[in-house]
Amino acid sequence: MNTKRWLALGAAIVLLVGSIGLNTVISIFKTDFFSSFNDVMNTEQTVVETVIEPGDYGERIALLSVDGTIQDVGSSSPWTTVEYDHQSFLSQLENILYDESVQAVVLYVNSPGGGVIESADIHEKLVEIKEQRNIPIYVSMGSYAASGGYYISAPADKIFAHSETITGSIGVIMQSYNFSELADKLGIEFETIKSGEHKDMFGGTRPTTDEEKAMVQEMINESYEAFVDVIEQGRGMSEADVKKVADGRILGGSQAIEAGLVDEIGGLEDTIAAIRADYGLENAELFEYESSFGDLTSLLGVKISSLFGPSPEEQFLTKFMSSNGGPRMMYLYGEY
């Protein structure tokens, strides 16, 4: 074999070995790189624990927070956030139900209330935790804990509020708009084809009849009585005592104590200190749950949402339009 053939064979071997080696390196790099990239760019929401006050991991205090209107409007994503994430909060309660290391719960409530169903979801889960885990639950009220905010507070073993806290507003409300007179002035005529006389009740295209108002009032009364029952059971009060203040009125913290709805005046730190002292948890770890995405995803989400997210005016219009899909019963004070 002459020199040229040897050189050609050597070059072929080098190319073959180099190709195999290069493909192997690329394969390894590709797998590791994209696996790490997917981990960093994870868009799936996960619940993580953040330690606030280190202590004994064997006996921990969970600090939960309901901040905002209690409505199930979807979950947060890397690109958008919701004021209150109902499903995420229910997941936190579910974690506590099965986490034996959690020996007490402090629930911070800063809410005007919200949906009847969502409030009941939280209440039922808190009662389940008390019955199955037999651990104390203390509530710390923020600026307000009214209507549904009080509904979810009622099962607590002790409730703290500021003197300036707005609470109470015990009751149920359902509202709708009637655009019929405005439509007449604008020359707009509604054409409705319906299967029954009441199919378009509270649809906004005509006045509600007395019969229809009576139908809805019956529903409202039933939910109201359920609300009163929740307070009777949670606070150990008689029906008569509850109904003295269960007419929709709002109460300050001191008034709420006189009415039997609140136990003590104090803030969040007072609430945490009290549950530690009352149940011998001075050395317990205090932690809270947080929703998390991949670090880079969260960072990009913040940047993109700040650059291309909706303006305050667009957010208001979106909220206005989306909140009027139909009337619903609410345990809600203030904004509807």
3-state DSSP assignment of residue 184:
helix
Q: Which of 119, 140, 147, 298 is catalytic?
A: 147
- Of 102, 94, 91, nearest in space to 135 by CA: 102
Task: Answer yes or no: 254 catalytic.
Answer: no
Residue 193, strand partner residues: none
Number of residues in the chain:
336
Q: Helix 116-133 vs helix 86-98: angle between axes, to the nearest 10 degrees?
A: 10
Task: Answer yes or no: 88 catalytic.
Answer: no
| Neighbouring C-beta atoms of residue 316, cutoff 10 Å | 11
Give the Cα separation of 172 and 150 in Å (integer).
12
Q: Contact at 8 Å (CB) between 235 and 260?
A: yes
How far are the Cα atoms of 70, 138, 173 from residue 112, in angstroms, in the given order?
Answer: 8, 19, 13
Q: Which of 30, 194, 199, 319 is catalytic?
A: 199
Residues carrying an active site annotation? 147, 199
